[in-house]
């Protein structure tokens, strides 16, 4: 860790002393999400998963959707702690992560990251990495093309657009490794599928996908 990282840790520590975290739901002082509210959130968990290699933990609705939007677009970087806590306390997630060598957060294009000031998935992945002792790497999967937000498009258009968006750097770091791709919302899966494809092509042994949530299409 560089010196800047260390300084940031001290600043965060001091901030926690002066402004201790409060539960995002009930306001209880001491944690970003208290034990009780953490349990309440389990009602949004998805019961079914997409095969052996993909876990989407929550339905992208209600409070989960609101939190992800707040976190991504409303400058609430501290919320990375809430998502990390929810994932770390989830036994299914911990079992799923067993055997992973590297966590790779789905990257943002540089321009978008500069606009936002942070890559939201990386902040969460960094906490997971520290708690679970799995390396996190953001210099391997690089987004080389900026495309329209995926949510504004139809399925076929997404699949076509996503080709050539990601490149793999430092291939030796993933060679024969078990890699975990981490993202916030799984919509059609075209983004994570493409990440998976380029990582396997670059020599990864196995690629799994973990996302905080999945958009479940409603039947009308
Ligand atoms: Zn609470």
Extents of the domains making up the chain: 46-214
Query: What is the 23 CA–ligand 1 centroid distance (Å)?
Result: 5
Query: Among the CATH numbers 3.40.50, 3.30.2010, 2.60.40, 3.30.70, which is that of 46-214?
Result: 3.40.50
**β 135-136/141-143 pair status:** unpaired
Query: What is the 184 CA–ligand 1 centroid distance (Å)?
Result: 22
Query: What is the 34 CA–ligand 1 centroid distance (Å)?
Result: 4
b/e per residue 170-204 (b: at least 16 CB within 10 A): eeebbeebbbbbbbbbbbbbbbbebbbebbeebeb
Average of per-residue pLDDT across 67-85: 91
- Give the tens place of pLDDT for each residue, 78-131: 999 999 999 999 999 999 999 999 999 998 776 777 777 778 899 999 999 999
Q: What is the pTM of this model?
A: 0.85
Query: What is the 32 CA–ligand 1 centroid distance (Å)?
Result: 8
Query: What is the 29 CA–ligand 1 centroid distance (Å)?
Result: 9
């Amino acid at each position: 860790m560089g010196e800047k990282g260390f300084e940031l840790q001290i600043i965060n520590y001091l901030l926690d002393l002066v402004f201790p975290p409060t539960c995002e739901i009930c306001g209880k002082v001491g944690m970003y999400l208290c034990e009780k509210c953490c349990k309440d959130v389990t009602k949004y968990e998805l019961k079914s998963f997409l095969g052996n290699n993909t876990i989407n933990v929550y339905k992208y609705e209600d409070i989960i959707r609101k939190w992800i939007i707040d976190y991504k677009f409303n400058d609430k970087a501290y919320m990375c702690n809430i998502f990390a806590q929810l994932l770390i306390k989830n036994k299914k997630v911990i079992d799923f992560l067993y055997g992973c060598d590297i966590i790779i957060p789905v990257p943002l294009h540089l321009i978008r990251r500069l606009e936002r000031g942070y890559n939201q998935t990386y902040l969460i992945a960094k906490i997971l990495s520290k708690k679970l002792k799995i390396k996190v790497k953001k210099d391997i999967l690089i987004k080389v093309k900026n495309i329209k937000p995926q949510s504004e498009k139809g399925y076929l258009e997404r699949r076509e657009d996503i080709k050539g968006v990601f490149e793999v750097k430092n291939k030796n770091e993933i060679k024969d490794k078990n890699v975990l791709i981490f993202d916030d919302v799984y919509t059609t899966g075209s983004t994570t599928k493409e990440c998976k494809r380029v990582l396997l092509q670059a020599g990864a042994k196995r690629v799994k996908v973990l996302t905080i949530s999945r958009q479940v299409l409603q039947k009308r």
